[in-house]
Every structure is written in structure tokens, then in C-alpha cells.
Amino acid sequence: MNLRNVAIIAHVDHGKTTLVDQLLAQSGVFRANEATTERAMDSNDQERERGITILAKCTSVLWNGKAGETRINIIDTPGHADFGGEVERILGMVDGCVLLVDAEEGVMPQTKFVLTKALKMGLRPILCINKVDRAHADPDRVHNAAFDLFAAIGATDEQLDFPHIYASGRAGWATLDLNQPSDNLSPLFDLIVDHVPAPKQVEAKDKPFQILNVLIESDPFLGRLLTGRIESGKAVPGMAIKALSRDGKTIEQGRITKVLAFRGLKRQPVDDAEAGDIVAIAGMSKATVADTLCALEVTEALPAQPIDPPTISMTVSVNDSPLAGREGDKVQSRVIRDRLLKEAEANVAIRVTETGGKDAFEVAGRGELQLGVLIENMRREGFELSISRPRVVYQTGENGERLEPIEDVVIDVDDEYSGVVIEKLSARKAELTDMGPSGAGKTRIQLKCPSRALIGYQGEFLTDTRGSGVLNRVFSHYEPHKGAIEGRLKGVLVSNGDGETAAFALWNLEERGVMFVGAGEKTYQGMIIGENSRSDDLDVNPMKGKQLTNVRAAGKDEAVRLTPPRRPSLEQAIAYIEEDELVEVTPKSIRLRKQVLNPSFRKKRVREE
């Protein structure tokens, strides 16, 4: 049987997972009466809620086309820049890729990022111009822009001779010529089989067994599952193997207990798997990502693809607020440390280090969203944590100068808001590189901007553009430090005591600013209950009730009607806080607080600084 391994790569929201849905449906993976869900590959709770792909996942389809029966292993990848580590890992498992580009939005920052990685590994890309049935689609412009991108990032002559195809993932059709309509994805299947080469590993099927681990999962029945492409030999259950680290040292020896091959959306045990196929192997307990599983006679490890370093870090520490331990059951530093190290083992784009204080850990990743997803997963598992403001990870240049990460930013915004966006980002040390109309009354703005300038900017951006702007960003390179950047312009309202908030007190405080809490909620000294309308912090008493006398009865005055509080989400809270503040995260609550709860000690620290 013919075999093809292909990855589907694209910018976020360009339709990868929806296209994979249709590829699965049209290849006969689902039974006629089987219930199917939309975006079937997004199996994770957070992926469904957020509408984005977070983890790279593998599936497999059988296609009977012009070249006969072919098994196509398809890997669906995340499109968001923060999860680029997932894309970098899996590109080593495939021989070709389908680059999806939205026929209206065109080439975006993440398109450039994933394509650069794919071309560097020598993959042969297929350009799929998706969503050609959209109202403002312009396939010819997008095709030209994609060709310019290929040329700009140094594609070889062979890679520049890429085939292109037009598609509508949602409607489930693809065609090589827009003048010849189609009602299915057969042209795309046939193009993949024709253009993507068969795995060259097939020639090494008689050599000793070797596989490079790319993805790691844990199964409650089978234990650790290690996924990768077999580079040589055969994998057979019961076979004795060993695990080698990157530098060739033996980590452990064991036996393969199960070989699982991808068949549609399910993994099925198989009796053997040959070189070139993508499989999951059970039976090892210590081997992890980038390790080599191999036959006992093999001495050299397979080369692992280097991963780009993290650009943003934050401190995760034990929750030490007065309300700690009331909502979560995992509060000890030892349990938090084990969970973070487990995450770093499975996700190579995250780095965990212990700080001087044993109760706090430095977690570094690609962006606020990636770190936010990790913290959200932990709070759902019952953890209580304190999170610091994200900081950029600096590097030291050859001359000893401090270098900071710079990002490529592409903003699509209604014409009337382009001025305020450029003004705000210029004040944050961003440099405008290109600007022009993008159709439908919108302007596309392209900038180079320091990563630290974008921390906390998303909320302000949505306010400035009345929620209509779209901001896309991806890490570009390091540059010398650009100097101080102004932070949050408004101060906060801080509770000066412990207790429950009173509606009467909050009603009187509303003229001071925007509230983050409602009536009848527990609060404590040093907790942030709202945003001040001025630039300084203000200690207030949110628990003060109405003073009642014989003359002044409870129901005499007007009824207290409170404005609904502005409750920040986890990402908004992390982006909002300043250096002297923390986010308290529990399974049921997200609270903002000062690092130093006592107001006297806070003032003393400010005086000392």
C-alpha cells in the first residue's frame, strides 16, 4: 500500500481543522449513521471553548484515487503563534505540507513562521487557497502574495514550483481551476498523493528499529504513549528496546507493550508497523520528547529538531492569601512543582526553573495565551496559585548589551480607527513597516514591536477599535533594548480590610472607578476590588454598611442599584496587573491582589524604592 505523511499548516482561523473534518468525512472514516461533531480534531475542552487548536494531533485516512489505495497520515497543527513549538516538533514526521491561506485575509505572520520552518526542513509544500467562497475573497492576489513570501524566505527552485489548489473547507470542495467547479475534495487528495513523496524511510525497513519521539501523552490503561515516525525497521509488540537521549546516553530499557496506529479518529493496536508509518508506542516509563526509541544494538540517537527559545516568563507561586485553601485541594508547592515539570516534559516550548524561594517557580513560554492555557488547565484540576505579571526573556548580545524579543504585528482595523492604533503603538516603541487598504473599509497595518509593549495591550486595543480590530503577532528576532515603556495609566482601588463587600459601600465607590467585584463577596486587605479613575492607587472600605438610627431607616433612601462588575478573564487579569501585583487563581475564582497586603508595608516599600 502507498503511504503519505502530510501536515496541514496555516495561520490561526484559516480553516485547518474544518478542512480535516471534511477530509475525514469524504474518505469514509465515519459510518453512515455515526454521530459526528464539528471540528472533530479539537478534542480538548479548552480547544472547543476557545475555538482554536492547541495541540498537534494525528489522524489517518484511506484514499482510493488515481494512484490506487493510499494511506494518508494527516497532522492537524495549531495556528496560534504561542503554540508554534507544537508545529516545529511535528514537521520532522512528515514529507510534505498543505499550506492553507485564507482567500480574503491573505498571508499573515504565522503563515510566514510555519512556512519558514517547513521550507528549512526541505518539505514540499502545496498551496491551498481556502475560503474562496467568501464575499471579499481575492484568490489571485493571495496567490501572488504567497509566491512573494516563498521567494522572500529563500525557497529552493523545486519548492518555488509549488502546485496550488482552491478550496472551501466548510463546503467540502476543492478545484485546480475556479472555472471548473467541484463538489468534493478528490482533487486535493489526488494532489497530495501526486506531489508529496513517499517516506524515504520505507527503504530502511530491514535495518534495526529506530523512532524519534515527537509527542507524549499518558493513557490511564497503557501508561506513557510516545508518538513518532518509524525511521527504520519494524515495531512489534513484545520487542525489547531501549531509549537514548539526544547525546546518545541510555535512559532505560524495556519492551513494547502496544503499537498503536492511527485509523481515522481512533488509535488501534496493530501486530506490527513498518518504517515510514506514524505510530504511538507504549511500554516505556522515562523516555520523553526528543528521545530515540531503538533496538538494543543501536548506539547513536536520531538528531532532534531544535526548538525556538521561550520569549515570555512569569512566576507561579503558592497561594498565600487569607482565602487560600478554601476552593482548591492542590495547594502545596511540591504538588505545583510536579505538575509544572510534567507539563515541561510534554511541551518542549515551556521551560520551568526553580527560584530562590522554594515556593515559587519561573515558567517561560511563547506568549500570554500559552501560559494562560496552562494555568487554566491547572485551575480546572483543583490547583490554587499566585501568578505574577508576565516578563519578557532577555538575552545578552556579543558586546554584553541587553537584547529583547521583537514581534511582527499585523493589524486589520476599520479605517477610522487606524490613527489611534498607530499612535498608541508608536508610544510603545513600535515601528511602522507597511500600511495599506485591505478591502471592505479596512486598513492593514504592519509593525515591528517589542514583546513587552504588547503585554496588556489587547484589552486597550479592543476598546480603541470598538471590538472590530484583529491583532496577529509572531516572534521575529532579538534587538537591543528600546528603553522604558509606559505601563498601565490608571491606578486601582484596594480593600483596606477583611470581610464581605456591602452594596451600599460599592454604590458609593462607583464614582471612583470601575468595580471588579459585586455585593456579598469575600474580600481581604490588599485585594484589588476595582480600577481607579485616576492614576494613583486608593485604599477603600468596600464593607461599610449604611448607619441606621430611629430616624434613618433601612428603606428610607433610594434603592441601591449597582452597575454589573467588570470581571476579568484569566488572560485579561494576567495582562492587567503591574509588577507589584498578583493574580490569585483558584478553581472557582480569579482575584487580583497586591503582593504586599498591608498598606503600611506597601508605602514603606515605595519609600525605600
Annotated binding site for GTP: 13-18, 130-133
> Which one, of 284, 218, 229, 279, lies nearest residue 251 by Cα?
284
Q: Give exposure, 549-576, as e/b (b: 16+ Cβ within 10 Å).
A: eeeeeeeeeeeeeeeebeebebbbbbbb
Whole-angstrom Cα distance, residue 277 to residue 198? 10
Residue listed under C-alpha cell 513517499:
198
Do 74 and 61 form a contact (C-beta atoms < 8 A)? yes
* Nearest residue to 323 via CA among 528, 541, 537, 527: 527
**Is the alpha carbon torsion for 136, 142, 143, 144 positive or negative?**
positive
* Residues making up the binding site: 13-18, 130-133
CB 28 within 8 A of CB 37: no
Decide: residue 480, CB within 10 A, 0-12 exposed, 13-18 middle, 19+ buried.
exposed
Which of 122, 145, 113, 111 lies closest to 15, judged by CA? 111
Cα R_g (the chain), whole angstroms: 27
Rounded to whole angstroms, the Cα distance separating 244 from 291 reads 6
The SS3 call for residue 556 is coil
- Concatenated DSSP letters of 299-359: -SPPPPPP-PPP-EEEEEEE--STTTTSS-SB--HHHHHHHHHHHHHH-TT-EEEE-SSTT
Element at 460 (helix H, strand E): helix 457-464
Q: What is the DSSP letter of 564?
A: P
Q: What b/e string do you get for 522-537 counting C-beta neighbours within 10 Å, with b at 16 or more?
A: ebbbbbbbbbbeeeeb
Supply 69's cell numbers.
489505495
Separation between Cα atoms, residue 358 and residue 449, nearest integer Å: 35
For residue 484, CA distances in Å to 404, 429, 430, 453, 460 come to: 12, 9, 13, 10, 19
Residue 11 · residue 99 · CB < 8 Å: no
